[in-house]
Structures are given as C-alpha cells and as structure tokens.
C-alpha cells in the first residue's frame, strides 16, 4: 500500500464482501456524507443505510448497498462493518422494488422503516451501477 491509497474492507455480519486498495471512499454516516482520501484524520462513526462508493487504485468504481453499521478510518485503513452488505452488481433491482412495495404495506412501523431504508439503498446502488 502506498501513501496515496487506502486499504478498504467492507464486512457484513456473515462475510467479507470486498477488500482492496482504493483512492477514495464515500459513505453516509450519522453526521452526513463523508469522503475519505489517503491520510484522512481518524474517524469512528455510525454508518447509515445507504450506498458505499469506492474508487479503486486501479481506477475502477464499485458500489455496495449497506445497512446500518460502523465505519472506522485510521492510518490509511478503512473498515466498514454492516449487518448486511451487497455489491451493486449482485442486486436485482426489480426484485428489490417488489420487496419494497410489499414492505411498505406492512403495519410494523419500526421494522418497516429500517427495511424500507435497506431496500431503497439496494435499489439506488443497483441503478447507479447500471
């Protein structure tokens, strides 16, 4: 790893989703959107359901939909820990839209709100990747 890259790990509760070198990481935290470049000051923050965008050291961009979790930045290492995370290319946007409509019809407000945020993030990630 050079001084102008970050080592990034995206981890879901059940698996390592992605790991590699990057030049930029964008995420939504409890404090708002955050953009992380090499030599960023240390950060530990709550992660909100949304889309993670990573520009790799090879010049590629990948997107992932994540649920609530944590993001940690220190010494050019970014750890993103979420209960669920899916790479955009693995998401079926049509299936996510159907599931979103079903969930919006349910009565459990607390569960429904969290599920709606998760599904909306999945749809945004899939659409941005296409």
Domains in the chain (CATH in brackets) are: 6-87 (2.60.15.10), 91-129 (no CATH)
Neighbouring residues of 34: CB distance < 8 A, sequence distance ≥ 6: 26, 27, 28, 43, 45, 71
Q: What is the CA radius of gyration of the chain?
A: 15
- Residue keyed to tokens 């997107």: 63
Neighbouring residues of 84: CB distance < 8 A, sequence distance ≥ 6: 12, 13, 66, 67, 118
* Residues 66-96: tens digit of each pLDDT: 999 999 999 999 999 999 999 999 999 999 9
Res 103: pLDDT: 87
pTM: 0.87
């Amino acid at each position: 790893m050079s001084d102008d890259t970050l080592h990034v790990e995206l981890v879901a509760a059940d698996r390592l989703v992605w790991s590699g070198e990057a030049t930029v990481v964008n995420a939504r935290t409890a404090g708002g959107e955050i953009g992380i470049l090499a030599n960023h000051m240390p950060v530990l923050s709550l992660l909100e359901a949304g889309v993670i965008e990573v520009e790799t050291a090879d010049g590629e961009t990948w997107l992932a939909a994540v649920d609530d979790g944590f993001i940690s930045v220190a010494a050019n290492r970014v750890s993103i820990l979420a209960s669920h995370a899916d790479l955009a290319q693995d998401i079926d946007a049509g299936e996510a839209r159907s599931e979103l409509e079903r969930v919006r019809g349910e009565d459990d407000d607390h569960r429904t709100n969290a599920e709606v945020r998760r599904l909306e993030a999945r749809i945004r990630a899939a659409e941005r990747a296409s």
